[in-house]
Amino acid sequence: MSNKDNLHLQVALVQSPIKWEDPQGNRSFFGQKIDQVKEKVDLIILPEMFSTGFTMSPENIHEKEGDITLQWMQKMAQKRDCAVTGSMVYKEENHYYNRLFFVFPNGHYESYDKRHTFTLAGEHKKYTKGTKKCIVEYKGFKICPLICYDLRFPVWSRNTKDVDLLLYVANWPAPRVNAWDALLKARAIENMVYCIGVNRVGKDNEGHLYTGHSGIYDPLGERIGFSEKDETLVRTLDKAILNKYREKLRFLEDRDIFTIH
């Protein structure tokens, strides 16, 4: 077995309620959730806007809270000796972003701004959309982190960079959760990747209900982890399985070539 096959990534999907517009309360809450993970994991994944809930009033959040939460993520990553990722309200140069941070165990980080702001909720009126994808290399896996509504746009998710894992953090409401399930599976199959979606549960202050359905799908679309309740899912991704399917089926070799403008 080659070194590229002898690789594993143990992931923890933290699916839980979120306190509305309460960054300090959520940092404390998610800190407890992280402390409760008994396994030695490589990556902890938190939901979209985990420090506030999916608020369309970013002006209610003090502009320093983004950096405070990022520093908290760095502290958690160093404490657990693993990567931590999730998105938050972040203000920079008088613009608000729905910004995901991927924080490495040493405290270094990469970031991604949500490309597809959710027009149905008016997110496009409050948050500036991102323009660039982010590809993270970690523990022998190439990871592409994306955010919620991005899931509906297969061109943006398309595996043109030999990515191993598509990772979506979300606040995806119950009435459309069937689409969430179907699209996560589809993104895994069409891109020959592991695909992870981390959603929240509970009801927010706008009255939206979230029923979780956080899941992990293998490159053939088989679901290897799933939850509808307040819990943390821990699963291991095996690079050898991914490479086996790709070498046997070679579907990615027939993909269309295109440029996104």
Chain mean pLDDT for the chain: 96
Q: What is the mean pLDDT of residues 178-183?
A: 98
Q: Supply the pLDDT for residue 45.
A: 99
Q: Supply the pLDDT for residue 260.
A: 76
Q: What is the mean pLDDT of residues 209-214?
A: 98
Q: What is the mean pLDDT of residues 3-11?
A: 82
Report the DSSP pairing between strands 141-147 and 109-113.
unpaired
pLDDT tens digits, one per residue of 31-58? 999 999 999 999 999 999 999 999 999 9
Q: Supply the pLDDT for residue 54.
A: 98
Per-residue pLDDT band for 169 (boundaries 50, 70, 90) equals very high
148 catalytic? Reply is yes
Q: What is the mean pLDDT of residues 245-250?
A: 94
Q: Supply the pLDDT for residue 3.
A: 59
Query: CB of 212 within 8 A of CB of 227?
Result: yes
With vertex at residue 91, the alpha carbon angle to CA 85 and CA 95, rounded to the nearest 5 degrees, is: 125
| CA-wise closest residue to 195 among 228, 160, 159 | 159
Q: Supply the pLDDT for residue 257.
A: 82
Of the residues 19, 21, 33, 48, only one is catalytic, namely 48
Q: Supply the pLDDT for residue 256.
A: 85
82 catalytic? Reply is no
Q: Supply the pLDDT for residue 33.
A: 98
Q: Supply the pLDDT for residue 1.
A: 46
Instruction: Evaluate if residue 136 carries a pLDDT over 60.
Output: yes
Instruction: Evaluate if residue 4 carries a pLDDT over 70.
Output: no
Q: What is the mean pLDDT of residues 110-139?
A: 98
Of the residues 65, 148, 185, 239, only one is catalytic, namely 148
Q: What is the mean pLDDT of residues 202-223?
A: 98
Distance CA 171, CA 252 (A): 30
Instruction: Evaluate if residue 191 carries a pLDDT over 90.
Output: yes
Per-residue pLDDT band for 259 (boundaries 50, 70, 90) equals confident
With vertex at residue 32, the alpha carbon angle to CA 28 and CA 37, rounded to the nearest 5 degrees, is: 150
Instruction: Evaluate if residue 241 carries a pLDDT over 60.
Output: yes
Distance CA 119, CA 134 (A): 22
Instruction: Evaluate if residue 64 carries a pLDDT over 90.
Output: yes
Of the residues 114, 133, 185, 239, only one is catalytic, namely 114
Q: Supply the pLDDT for residue 139.
A: 98
Q: What is the mean pLDDT of residues 184-210?
A: 98
Distance CA 15, CA 29 (A): 12
Residues above pLDDT 90, as percent of the chain: 93
pTM recorded for the entire structure? 0.96
21 catalytic? Reply is no
